[in-house]
Amino acid sequence: MPQLPKHITDSAFQECMVELEAIVSKEWVMTGQSDLQSYRDDYGIFWGHSELEPKPSAAVAPASTDEVQAVVRILNKYQLPCWTISTGKNLGYGGAAPLKNGMITIDLKRMNRIIEVNEKHAYAIVEPGVSYFDLFNYIRDKGYKLWMSCPSPGWGSIIGNTSEHGVGYTPYGDHYGNQCGLEVVLPDGDLLRTGMGAMPDTKTWGTFKYGFGPHIDGMFTQSNLGIVTRMGIWLMPEPPTFMTGWAMMDGIDDFATMIEATRDLRQQDIITNMATVFPGMMDATYRPESGEPLRELIAGRGSPMDLIKILKEHNLGFWTNRMAFYGLSNAVKEKYEYMMDHYLAHNPKTRFKFDTYSAPYDFRKMDAGAKLQAGVPNLGEWTVMGWTEDSDAHAFFSPIIPFTGEAAQEHVDVFNEIFTRHGRGPYIGSIALFNTTRTCMITIPLPVRKGDHEFNRVSQDLFLDLVQASTERGWGDYRAPTFAMDTIMDTYSFNNHALRRFHERIKDTLDPNGIFSPGKNGIWPERYRDTRVII
């Protein structure tokens, strides 16, 4: 028998499984050890740890909203806690694994219908099992002149990524900001639709967010208050011209300059997409002529000066801002020229490499970075390239810092001391994503070795020190791996943790049995609150 929550007996668990099988069929209730392997966290720091690795007691895969409702009612009957996933591709943040042992996983992968794509009004309504590849292929097959926004890689769920406040690289890269209306199964099995979707036979679900009364969509993102079974998302009308490329600065100390120059361009809407600043070595992940030397350097943990040498040999700036321009050709050209003048005023040695494309588009002619900025999903060709010891996975730390060169340089200086102290340095900076015009999202992959508990313990300690240093400076982490959810929520401590207390008052009201994802993002129901772990 799998490990169960303390209040669940073996006989009650077996009875619950029989009732679930009557809803979804025996095939889609998984209890065997081999069946549950896919519900482990492949990137987890506790992988293989006999005591700490969280594993589900079972998994159930409903195929419709009606089946989700029925499953939820059965789980309430037995008071069996669950953990919900869309496709389980939340890599670096917990993957498909639950937060605690014994939870039953509700896997929504079979709910993979594209309900609607409206070309005239540029929106789609999808179910949780729809991946970015699915929607992209559907749009292409129909010949719609629409672009979407996707993360890298694109195999994950649109609803899953949006619900976790994930980001992409087009002007629609704030995925939650471009969400419009939800269908939600509540903890008692009731069904709710938000916004204009709350009207029967609505004609404007996908076009107007707010509906009537309080806007509650955010309650069901990064939360455990409901299971999202449908979501409206806005799509981008295909632009007549698309220009994409790099601004590159060669010096390791140019990070602050790059950030300062980019802020002005972002706030003036010269750059409208999710521009992305990263060390030039990332570019090597999809440029073979420079990739191998860099991989050898990184494996050997060379010095920053070694890195600069290789980047120069292959004409890659140390700091690279990947950006794009969209629209009429004259407007694109004017923005491009303004951007160049602006960067050169900040650093006369800035170099540029841009390509221009026009409709109809042949995405095969674009590199992986250009494809992402055109909303084309990939299998991770444009990814974070680690610059520490060899590892086969990672856990993300993602603080939000002010959009200033001063804050950018401070984070490098502070984090470099921490990385070096833990033997994982030097830290020279990581990806800076500009999903708003006022903040930088720094995404830092901390190395994980599958099953190497000593190595991973160092990464966990490193993570915690980064959290402490960020909290002291007022930089909040916006999205946490499961092992650190309580720790991150604890940093949002204004007025004796008023935010957490408010979340938990809502949780206890909507979910009195505490069955929906107990502990997700630090929100615990009353019956499990004593299991909160702040590390």
CA-based nearest residue to 61, from 126, 2, 110: 110
Strand partners for 307? none
The residues with which 174 forms a beta bridge, in sequence order, are: 167
Phi, psi of 325, deg, nearest 5: -130, 145
Report H helices in 229-328.
Answer: 255-267, 288-299, 304-313
Q: Which of 361, 478, 492, 528 is catalytic?
A: 478
Taking a C-beta distance cutoff of 8 angstroms, is the pair 254, 347 a contact?
A: yes
402, 426, 400: which is closest to 412 by C-alpha? 426
The residues, any chain, with a CB within 8 Å of residue 197's CB and separated by 6 or more, are 181, 182, 183, 205, 211, 230, 232
Handedness of CA 366, 372, 377, 379 (dihedral sign): positive
Which residue of the set 193, 266, 322, 479 is catalytic?
479
Q: Let me know: does 310 contact 290? Beta carbons within 8 Å.
A: yes
Q: How many CB atoms lie within 10 A of CB 354?
A: 17
Are the C-beta atoms of residues 171 and 236 closer than 8 Å to each other? yes
Tell me which DSSP letter residue 195 carries. G
Measure CA 484 to chain center: 15
Tokens read off for 65 = 């909203």
Residues 6 or more apart whose CB falls under 8 angstroms from that of 293 comprise 310, 313, 314
Is residue 172 part of the annotated active site? The answer reads: no
Nearest-5° Cα angle at 170, 167 to 174: 35
Instruction: Give, in degrees to the nearest 5, the angle at Cα 267 between 264 and 273.
Output: 105
Single-letter residue type at 448: V
393-397 and 276-279 strand pairing: unpaired
3-state secondary structure 402-437: ECCHHHHHHHHHHHHHHHHHCCCCCCCCCEEECCCC
* Catalytic annotation present for 93: yes
**Listed residue (260, 236, 230, 283) closest to 431, CA to CA:** 283
Exactly one of 93, 169, 172, 343 is catalytic; name it: 93
CB 106 within 8 A of CB 83: yes
Matching residue, tokens 């004409």: 315
Per-state percent for the chain, helix, strand, coil, to nearest 5: 40, 20, 40
**Which residues are marked as active site?**
93, 478-479
